[in-house]
Structure 1
């Protein structure tokens, strides 16, 4: 056997900073509260964001995400608490003195200036020498693939191109932290999806820490290294996208992220790696392959994602996690089909099935009686 080093090199595994014990956060939000009169927009939020993260603050309208972003930028002053960036307390520092730049949803481009002049505007205001301005503007425009459009004005650009001009203008000042407020909200669905991957690649290439505010769950799942789910001024869960989706820590998170079926029941048995729940909604037993901490006979919810449920005309051979009903709604969506099934209890269950073949001759459809089943490892118990 050859002893050549090329056959013996071990592939290095990069461990994200937030998983490293003792890693130092780049942004520290410490017990931040913001009140507007009697209304509390952000309530005692603490959050650590690490170097080179693309962190998403996700929440509905009025959840406090944009207010938190504006406090990071310095446009709003906290009622209480501290904000540290790269170890320096920024709580009372003016926006223009922070190592931060912000990209707004509206883009706010100057209509009378060319792409090149729009991007250069902030550098010229800071008195950067013309030669360096030209070099930095050309570099960032090439990076966002707009170098060939540098002499055009905003009205001559598409929505996606204007978005990239705004991004280039925010990045050309080389901030330590870039804040993006609903950055893709003005784009149509297809362009938004394409731009998400461009944004990920650009952030990775530049190595700048991004904090993105969005209300779009799919966008957050696509972009983020980690997601902070916000509700009523607080953060309900902070986790990587797959953890937020597969292991929500509350009914709110489970229902807010994607689609979910929630079955209510009473805990009747608990072992180290199994919890058994009696549910009138499915007229049977629910089994989950993890233990929970709860009082005897506690009422809980079991969350099951629609894609985790099997649907068939044949009764499954199982004593738990199975039920039956009638298809009340059916939608063909191209890549998948969506079914709504009414159970005998009146509970409605949503199921999605991938359309792996083009043949639809034997496809399930309206008013058919069907059986549903799922694995114990496909669901999670929620106690709050």
Structure 2
């Protein structure tokens, strides 16, 4: 969802000399004998919308709470804007946090909720009024200032919580599952709004989520977490198209995985013999691996084509039978049982209305793909 940008300074993580805004160094957090966060090092740059993505118990929320100052690291250091946070209490950090529950005051109006932190800081009344009006405009809730939270929809309450979190103009905003309470359609609409608000203000956002689509839609970069550690950091396209492990490939989106053994290893290509695929897999680039090494080929469902006739070639062609088809409107998902006994998923965009030539149930098909369609994984 982030706009493609080409200027070097809009992607500072690509510049080895760029100075990080948030610097996390070898941070570990133990609860008793359990490592909630295990030796995490991470640089986040000013103006980023960075997503920490992981399942339950992966350590993402604990890392967020340490940034906010609600938890202290067992070891390691956290710097924000060049300042070590070790002895800085939560209320003195240039940080605000928006919780999944939104935690709005039910007896206060929308305006009073947004103004709460500013009043506690004893800002002049006129300045508070101006800032509240500015934030209501930003989150498109100008007509709702006098309402109470129970008179708002879930999406409107989410935007009030965001406005309140931004009211004190933090340098860093931490969002814990910010869209988790919204239904699917509203969540998708709110993702666009969140990105626009972040780009308008230029505040650095760190978002914790377990939702892969949400992370892919929102983030400048994603940090995939597993068992307290960072499994991979990258831009959404890199994490999806070039995963560094079977875990990341399987965690982000849907993927077909074939185990195989290298039978040809040249600088410009690799050939993998795969019993699971029932064919050789040809990859048109070299791979750093040992002779006869067992590895895995990961390919996304949309990168595979289905045909009734066998295409030409001696690799990347697997024969099978269509077991099931799920029609999802914009696309159809085919479940194909290969002759090898392996099930795969193939997706096809429904570009035509009522396509009479579409492949149907119980048809014999050939699944085929190009030499650069998938990723070779060694772990």
Aligned counterparts of 1:211 and 1:155: Cα–Cα separation in 2? 28
Question: Residues 127-166 of structure 1: matches in 2 within 5 Å?
Answer: 127-166=122-161
Q: Does 1:338 align with 2:363?
A: no
Aligned counterparts of 1:16 and 1:279: Cα–Cα separation in 2? 39
Aligned counterparts of 2:279 and 2:235: Cα–Cα separation in 1? 33
The DSSP-based 3-state class of the residue aligned with 1:221 is helix
Question: Structure 1 stretch 127-136 or stretch 48-57: which is displaced more?
Answer: 127-136
The DSSP-based 3-state class of the residue aligned with 1:376 is coil
Q: CA deviation at 1:166?
A: 0.1
Distance verdict in 2 for CA 1:304–1:12, change over 3 Å: closer
Structure 1 residues 57-84: Cα deviation after superposition (integer angstroms, max 9, x where no partner) = 0000100000000000000110000000
Structure 1 residues 301-328: Cα deviation after superposition (integer angstroms, max 9, x where no partner) = 0001000000011111111111110111
The DSSP-based 3-state class of the residue aligned with 2:18 is coil
Aligned counterparts of 2:57 and 2:9: Cα–Cα separation in 1? 37
The DSSP-based 3-state class of the residue aligned with 1:267 is strand
Q: CA deviation at 1:331?
A: 0.8
Aligned counterparts of 2:375 and 2:140: Cα–Cα separation in 1? 44
Structure 1 residues 82-101: Cα deviation after superposition (integer angstroms, max 9, x where no partner) = 00000100123110010000
Q: Give the TM-score normalised by the residue count of structure 1.
A: 0.96
Aligned to 1:220: 215
Aligned to 2:305: 310
Task: Please point out which of 285, 293, 315 is paired with 1:290.
Answer: 285
Give the gaps of 5 or more residues in structure 1. Answer: 1-10
Give the gaps of 5 or more residues in structure 2. Answer: 1-5
Q: Does 1:259 align with 2:254?
A: yes
Aligned to 1:71: 66
Task: Please point out which of 163, 170, 174 is paired with 2:165.
Answer: 170
The DSSP-based 3-state class of the residue aligned with 1:378 is coil
Root mean square deviation of aligned Cα: 1.1
Aligned counterparts of 2:41 and 2:9: Cα–Cα separation in 1? 26
Q: CA deviation at 1:242?
A: 0.3
Distance verdict in 2 for CA 1:365–1:61, change over 3 Å: same
Q: CA deviation at 1:291?
A: 1.5
Q: Is the 8 A contact 1:52 1:210 kept in 2?
A: yes
Q: CA deviation at 1:12?
A: 6.1
Aligned counterparts of 1:68 and 1:291: Cα–Cα separation in 2? 37
Q: Is the 8 A contact 1:77 1:92 kept in 2?
A: no
The DSSP-based 3-state class of the residue aligned with 1:163 is helix
Q: Is the 8 A contact 1:30 1:81 kept in 2?
A: yes
Question: Residues 17-32 of structure 1: matches in 2 within 5 Å?
Answer: 17-32=12-27
Q: Does 1:80 align with 2:80?
A: no
Question: Residues 1-384 of structure 1: matches in 2 within 5 Å?
Answer: 15-384=10-379
The DSSP-based 3-state class of the residue aligned with 2:270 is strand
Q: CA deviation at 1:283?
A: 2.1
Across the two proteins, how many residue pairs are aligned to each other? 374
Aligned counterparts of 1:106 and 1:372: Cα–Cα separation in 2? 45
Distance verdict in 2 for CA 1:157–1:12, change over 3 Å: same
